[in-house]
A and B are shown apart, each in its own frame.
Chain A
């Protein structure tokens, strides 16, 4: 997951002459997800979050995460001004950051001109600084225009090299899926010809023993097709919000039917059905707060990500979630042992290694992979322990010792 260090972040400004932009950028980011506000909404206690983030918080706890006063989803209001601030800042960010980094390099070198900047640069490298300033210079006089016109005017006026950047930064990428005549399976999203979908769905049906009535499928599928086509053009009317359900008064089957009617997967125990419905309701209603709502197909993909990371298909990459899954009634022991065969072997191998290593663990040695994927940073010398057993500190911290914490 090397891309983790590519993520833009407010700390990007810290090592530039524009370090004061770090708190500025922080304030344009949601405190829950730490990303730029996405469809920001304001609570009745005047705190702003991404629509989806605050909906998830409220459906878990019913309280504002910032001040803990009680709030309801119904009271959330869109915060367009913040959305425009974020969009405009995201547009300007790459150029400003690039400029600031170059300035940094120049200051460090103490030279007037730099031919080859040492830092990793993007395509806009070759663009002369004068040209880079173009969008900045033009920014006066279009403050009152809407975001749409900013986008289009920026594209017209900026140099062509920057255009790919602008597209890259757009958060709506997913919406403009190429219309290749293929449709996605509503369960696994594999693309296929339309007539292949129904036979394909039978495969899923066999995989999950959850009863699924065939008559419901055409309706939900028709819906899918309609929305995906609409997604290409701007929808003429806002999608309708989903109401909350009082799960306690619904029997399993009634809830299952509700999920089926919504066109989302309906398998699993009641608790999973509830959680899936809540997530879908949050995804759906947050999408209603968007200026350009995503198609249902995209939302279903997002639900699928949830399913795989937190829902019924959540993998079990770490030991402390294991027990919950093993305890589940629908736990499939054979599949489990097939999937985790390698893990078991690795654990056994590790355990054998460890008992041998205990004898040697007093010998100081730097863990080779301790800081392997870090960005080079001057004061970041404290290596992280790899197996929790050894900790090595660099000479510039006050304790220049190798500590053995295993014994």
Chain B
């Protein structure tokens, strides 16, 4: 089968991520028959309530990747965070194409561009876990709790992490 630009580029990214993975991040295609569907594991950043947790997410790439960004969704639930929809979908500026800014709050420089990569997305998501952006909450309840009742928010996150680990 002739492979498309997108597939070749995804092969490169996969190889790069598996030979030289950033700390706390693992990612790759679920099956090598479909390079457009990946799964990723992200460790909860240290010194945050997410510490000790390991979060699985799925990444779906469009046919015209890298012109358009992938989508990312935490699977298995349990990510209580202002920028993660209750269904697990991650809402972060690097995943938004520059042309499309429904919320008018993001700088174009933060958004997707073809020179971004899976690695950069996952690193951004890791830092998003550590520092929520409450300007455009995907989960309004979590954002409110984070803003107004920080200790309760942190406790809830820690509980979710423990639950996720089966403790």
Contact = CB atoms under 8 A, between A and B. Distances in A.
Interface string B1-44: 01111111101111110111100001010111111110101010
A48 to B, nearest CB: 12
Interface residues of B, number: 55
Contacts of A33: 5, 8-9, 12
A382 B22 CA distance: 13
Q: Tell which of B9, B62, B67, B77 has the most Cβ of chain A within 10 Å.
A: B67
A14 B20 contact: yes
Q: Tell which of B14, B35, B41 has the most Cβ of chain A within 10 Å.
A: B41
B141 interface: no
Given A1-B35, A9-B12, A398-B52, A403 B164 contact: yes
B147 interface: no
| Chain B binding surface, main DSSP class | mixed
Q: Tell which of A56, A305, A309, A387 has the most Cβ of chain B within 10 Å.
A: A309
Contact of A4 (B14, B39, B108): B14
B115 A32 contact: yes
Contact of A385 (B5, B37, B39, B67): B39
Interface residues of A, number: 57
B54 interface: yes
B68 to A, nearest CB: 8
B113 interface: yes
Nearest to A12: B19
Given A4-B14, A32-B66, A391 B54 contact: yes
B102 interface: no
A7 B11 contact: yes
Nearest to A369: B31
B30 A309 contact: no
Closest 8 CB pairs of A and B: A405-B76, A309-B4, A34-B12, A11-B19, A31-B115, A4-B11, A65-B114, A305-B2
28 contacts: A1-B11, A5-B15, A11-B15, A31-B114, A32-B9, A32-B115, A33-B8, A35-B12, A53-B114, A56-B67, A57-B67, A61-B98, A66-B113, A309-B6, A317-B34, A317-B36, A320-B60, A377-B19, A380-B21, A384-B28, A385-B41, A386-B31, A388-B39, A398-B43, A402-B166, A403-B54, A403-B166, A406-B76
